[in-house]
């Protein structure tokens, strides 16, 4: 990914997938004979404008979107390798390596999801065998390690590692993404933001832009989760008027796999927002392992996934996806089902994985790239196939979340309040830079 690491975020980094199977560059090009080769810019801008003006607008942001967040010091957004390394450091290298060798047989890659899944299966097998014949699992005997405690340590390490966002984190792309979507007509249904990420990138970006998130938690001193809060809204009403006006820039936020600041009270099972945890609270996260599908049917995740599936069935809906790798079938399958059944749904899919890096390195020379990464997930391949079959509902872009944020249309007619907030934000950013 060094190609992307050294490139500034720009809309012109995007390439559009065409029905002939090629990836079209953003800018126009001129051949030697003077003939103009039109780029993707006009097409993409027209499609995005139509997409964001849909009656119902929703977005799904995966771990790739968090890579746009940057810290000057400390942790950056983690990848799978980072979660592996942090778990190994927390558990202890000797114990960690012993578990890896005994459970998986080889240290071939840093797949923490696979490792934790195998450990959980070993724990469950031990419990089942013990219930039958009172015998310990052979792996447990050989390891002399409490695998259940090992999993708990690894999960604690993951929780620590995903806590990388602070007030000083550079969230330019997230703020720009929210700012542009916040300009939608407030009379339309609220934009629904779904994310698989545990971090607080969206929350901190919303605070910086003075935008409000309805995320299922109450506004009391102790913020408690209740699904009914998603049916509430925020309006503005003056003392001398009876008619209320919808406040601009309100989003619904659904964290499908939980959040690093969600805690479940062991005494009554209530989910609250709290950073600290102790023996009376436990984190509310769906950790990376193969049992994610089953865990998604427990509250509060069940409420999030019910909203996910319901939103995909709404008429005149646009779904924007960025940074999601389609590795989670419990999220991917409903997307495909919606494409099969909802004729009025539109999909904008953006990810840097589609075009091989080796092809992009000649970006200044090649107007249309005819090669696509052959390591894509099945759902991604199916969506590419739909484009080749002429499905105009689908727009697939090769690029990063940060590039997509700058390609989203600028809605005209900002309100006086929005213009004031923009000025104040520029002053705050200037003061922070001078500080």
* CA-to-CA separations, 87 to 81, 121, 203, 282, 363, in angstroms, rounded: 10, 19, 26, 18, 38
Q: What is the pLDDT of residue 146?
A: 84
pLDDT of residue 68: 96
What is the distance between the alpha carbons of residues 292 and 115, in angstroms, rounded to a whole number?
Answer: 14
Closest among 57, 125, 92 to 345, alpha carbons compared: 57
Tokens of 322: 């960025």
Residues 271, 303: Cα–Cα separation, whole Å: 13
To the question of pTM greater than 0.85 for the whole model, the response is yes
**What confidence tens digit (pLDDT) does each residue in 228-239 have?**
999 988 888 887
Q: How far apart are CA 272 and CA 274, in angstroms?
A: 6
397: left (phi over 0), alpha (psi -120 to 50) or beta: beta
Torsion of Cα atoms, 112 then 289 then 64 then 202, to 10°: -120
Residue 333 has a pLDDT of 95
Tokens 């578990």, located at residue: 99
Residues 173-209: pLDDT tens digits? 999 999 999 988 888 999 999 999 999 999 999 999 9
CA distance 22 to 369: 5
Give per-residue pLDDT as tens, 292-336: 777 777 889 999 999 999 999 999 999 999 999 998 999 999 999
From CA 290, how far away is CA 282, in angstroms rounded? 21
Decide: 15 and 3 in contact? Cβ < 8 Å: no
pLDDT digits (tens, 9 = 90+) for 361-418: 865 568 999 999 999 999 999 999 999 999 999 999 999 999 999 999 987 555 666 6
Share of the chain above pLDDT 70, in %: 90
Write down the number of H helices and E strands in the chain.
Answer: 17, 17
> Does residue 345 register a pLDDT over 80?
yes
pLDDT digits (tens, 9 = 90+) for 205-223: 999 999 999 999 998 888 9
285 forms beta bridges with 258
Secondary structure (3-state) at 112? helix
Residue 146: both structure tokens together: 């409490």
Helix, strand, coil percent content, the chain, rounded in steps of 5: 40, 15, 40
Tokens representing residue 319 in the block: 């779904």
Per-residue pLDDT, 419: 66
141-153 pLDDT, tens digit per residue, is: 455 578 889 999 9
pLDDT band at 121 (very low <50, low <70, confident <90, very high): confident
């Amino acid at each position: 990914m060094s190609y992307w690491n050294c490139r500034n975020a720009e809309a012109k980094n995007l390439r559009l997938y065409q029905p002939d199977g090629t990836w079209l560059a953003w800018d126009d090009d001129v051949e030697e004979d003077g003939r103009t080769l039109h780029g993707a810019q006009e097409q993409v801008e027209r499609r995005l404008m139509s997409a964001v003006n849909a009656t119902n607008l929703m977005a799904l942001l995966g771990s790739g979107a968090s890579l746009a967040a940057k810290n000057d010091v400390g942790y950056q957004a983690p990848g799978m390798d980072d979660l592996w390394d942090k778990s190994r450091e927390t558990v202890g290298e000797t114990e960690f390596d012993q578990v890896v060798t005994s459970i998986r047989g080889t240290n071939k890659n840093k797949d923490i999801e696979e490792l934790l899944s195998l450990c959980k299966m070993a724990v469950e097998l031990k419990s089942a065998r013990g219930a039958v014949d009172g015998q310990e699992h052979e792996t447990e005997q050989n390891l002399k390690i409490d695998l259940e405690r090992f999993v708990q340590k690894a999960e604690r390490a993951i929780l620590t590692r995903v806590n990388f966002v602070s007030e000083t984190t550079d969230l330019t792309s997230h703020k720009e993404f929210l700012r542009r979507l916040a300009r939608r007509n407030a009379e339309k249904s609220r934009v629904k933001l779904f994310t698989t990420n545990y971090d607080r990138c969206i929350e901190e970006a919303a605070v910086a832009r003075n935008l409000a998130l309805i995320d299922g938690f109450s506004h009391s001193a102790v913020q408690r989760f209740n699904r009914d809060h998603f049916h509430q809204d925020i309006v503005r009403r003056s003392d001398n008027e009876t008619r209320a006006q919808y406040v601009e820039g309100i989003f619904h936020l659904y964290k499908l796999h939980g959040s690093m600041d969600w805690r479940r009270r062991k005494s009554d099972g209530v989910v609250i927002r709290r950073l600290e945890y102790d023996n009376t609270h436990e984190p509310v996260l769906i950790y990376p392992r193969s049992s994610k599908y089953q865990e998604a049917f427990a509250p509060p995740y069940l409420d999030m996934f019910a909203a996910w599936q319901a939103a995909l069935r709404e008429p005149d809906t646009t779904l924007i996806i960025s940074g999601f790798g389609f590795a989670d079938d419990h999220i991917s399958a409903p997307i495909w089902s919606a494409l099969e059944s909802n004729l009025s749904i539109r999909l904008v899919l953006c990810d840097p994985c589609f075009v091989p890096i080796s092809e992009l390195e000649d970006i200044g020379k090649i107007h249309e790239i005819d090669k696509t990464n052959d390591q894509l997930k099945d759902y991604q391949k199916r969506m590419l196939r739909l484009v080749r079959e002429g499905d105009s509902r689908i727009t697939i872009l090769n690029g990063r979340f940060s590039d997509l944020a700058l390609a989203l249309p600028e809605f005209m007619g900002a309100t006086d309040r929005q213009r004031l907030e923009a000025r104040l934000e520029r002053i705050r950013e200037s003061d922070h830079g001078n500080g």
